[in-house]
């Protein structure tokens, strides 16, 4: 009889543990396919040019030209474009050997054969099937490849040799909030001093923009931000609480949120998806 009680208690414990595990996984994990690391060779900074991406642009153009000339039944031009389509399609596997099995070489041969035979309708059918092989690889890898190899990386950016990017961000938000707190509590001097610090911090941040924005000069702070800084300073001195709040809000949108909309979201997604997970971390999940 006792053994049955042990057995039932054991069953209940097991059931609870399973329920606990299932409950903990309420926030579902997503499985994504990460692109092969060999791709890095075909992107900056390992390469001088975005070779992979440019091969893709060529393929799209060649697919369009082949379709167009097959419809026109213009054999001379069709030959020319089909030739380079074949070349650049096969280049995919030359660049990333592990993707050789993603290529539909049978369809490519069919396309080449029908072009040689001047069988235009067969050529059009083959182009359509080839497009399926483009789509299937894109479904799995396109978005994550762009995110991995084309999202600017801020993790290595330094404001000065002993001030990393993230610490500077934390300083900036502390200053923004200190202005808000001091304004609300009527401590004008403190608010103005923090505004001075924030301005200085923004100037320092602005120096790193040109690391990457060389041609399209992105002055930071720009004219609009400077005007808002001036307006905020005068409302902190003589304005109402409402005016102070409005100016500070405008400043935060212009000077922080705009850039976050591009850089922080992309960089956060990249860091999350491309970080190497240790086995211990995976087991913990
Ligand atoms: C084995 C995988 C693979 C195959 C097959 C493939 N692609 Fe791609 N393609 C990619 C990846 C990965 C990207 C993302 C590159 C990036 O954004 O940096 C891409 C991006 C592109 C882009 C850029 C889209 C944009 O505007 O940013 C075009 C255009 C393109 N591919 C065309 C083609 C065509 C046309 C074919 C078929 C003839 C093809 N690709 C076959 C992997 C593939
Ligand atoms: C690590 C490189 C890098 C740094 C540093 C960098 N950017 Fe960018 N930024 C890029 C790239 C790449 C793009 C996307 C392509 C483009 O539009 O030039 C971009 C796009 C943007 C965009 C959106 C597109 C546009 O032109 O409006 C804004 C806004 C922007 N950056 C602001 C800034 C500001 C402000 C700084 C400095 C505080 C900065 N960036 C620093 C690489 C960088
Ligand atoms: C280059 C454009 C850019 C501008 C301008 C910018 N930020 Fe950021 N900020 C980023 C990026 C990118 C990250 C994420 C860094 C990372 O993930 O490594 C970030 C992260 C942050 C963080 C989180 C830091 C952490 O790790 O806890 C805060 C807080 C922040 N920014 C505040 C601000 C404030 C306040 C301003 C305006 C005064 C501002 N940022 C202006 C790009 C910018």
Tell which wins on pLDDT, 89 or 18. Answer: 89
Tell which wins on pLDDT, 3 or 140. Answer: 140
Q: For 60-106, how does the pLDDT look when each residue is reduced to its tens digit (9 = 90+)?
A: 999 999 999 999 999 999 999 999 999 999 999 999 999 999 999 99
Q: For 133-151, how does the pLDDT look when each residue is reduced to its tens digit (9 = 90+)?
A: 999 999 999 999 999 999 9
Write out the two tokens for 280.
């211990």
pLDDT at site 217: 75
Whether residue 42 has its Cβ less than 6 Å from ligand 1:
no
Domain of 77?
37-150
| CATH, residue 60 | 1.20.120
Report the distance separating Cα 123 and Cα 82, nearest Å. Answer: 10
**Minimal-distance CA residue to ligand 1 atom 11:** 142
Average pLDDT of every residue of the chain: 90
Of 150, 185, 212, the one marking the end of a domain is 150
> HSE-up of 165 (CA within 13 Å, CB side)?
13
**Minimal-distance CA residue to ligand 2 atom 30:** 259
Sequence-ordered list of residues with C-beta below 8 angstroms from that of 160, at least 6 positions apart, any chain? 204
Report the distance separating Cα 210 and Cα 218, nearest Å. Answer: 7
Whether residue 151 has its Cβ less than 6 Å from ligand 1:
no
Tally of domains in the chain = 2
Q: pTM (2 decimals)?
A: 0.80
Give percent of the chain with pLDDT exceeding 70.
Answer: 87
What's the CA-to-centroid distance between 147 and ligand 2, angstroms?
15
In terms of domains, do 136 and 249 share one?
A: no
Q: For 245-285, how does the pLDDT look when each residue is reduced to its tens digit (9 = 90+)?
A: 999 999 999 999 999 998 999 888 888 887 766 556 666 66
In terms of domains, do 204 and 251 share one?
A: yes
């Amino acid at each position: 009889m006792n053994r049955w009680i042990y057995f039932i208690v054991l069953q209940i414990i097991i059931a609870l543990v399973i329920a606990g595990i299932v409950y903990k996984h309420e926030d579902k994990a997503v499985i994504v396919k990460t692109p092969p690391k060999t791709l890095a060779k075909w992107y900056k900074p390992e390469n001088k040019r975005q070779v992979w991406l440019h091969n893709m642009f060529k393929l799209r153009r060649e697919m369009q030209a082949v379709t167009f000339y097959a419809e026109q039944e213009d054999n001379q031009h069709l030959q020319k474009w089909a030739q380079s389509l074949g070349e650049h399609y096969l280049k995919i596997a030359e660049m990333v050997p592990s993707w050789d099995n993603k290529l539909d070489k049978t369809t490519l041969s069919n396309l080449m054969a029908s072009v040689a035979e001047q069988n235009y309708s067969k050529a059009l059918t083959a182009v359509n099937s080839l497009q399926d092989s483009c789509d299937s690889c894109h479904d799995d890898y396109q978005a994550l490849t762009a995110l991995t190899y084309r999202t600017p990386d801020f993790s290595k950016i330094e404001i000065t040799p002993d001030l990393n990017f993230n610490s500077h961000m934390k300083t900036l938000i502390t200053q923004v909030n200190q202005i808000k707190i001091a304004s609300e509590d009527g401590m004008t001097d403190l608010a103005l001093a923090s505004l001075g610090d924030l301005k200085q911090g923004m100037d320092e941040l602005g120096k790193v923009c040109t690391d990457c924005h060389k041609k399209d000069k992105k002055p930071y702070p720009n004219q609009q931000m400077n005007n808002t800084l001036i307006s905020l300073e005068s409302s902190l001195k003589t304005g109402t609480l409402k005016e102070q709040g409005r100016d500070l809000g405008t400043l935060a949108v212009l000077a922080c949120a705009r850039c976050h909309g591009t850089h922080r979201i992309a960089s956060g997604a990249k860091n999350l998806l491309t970080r190497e997970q240790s086995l211990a971390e995976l087991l913990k999940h």
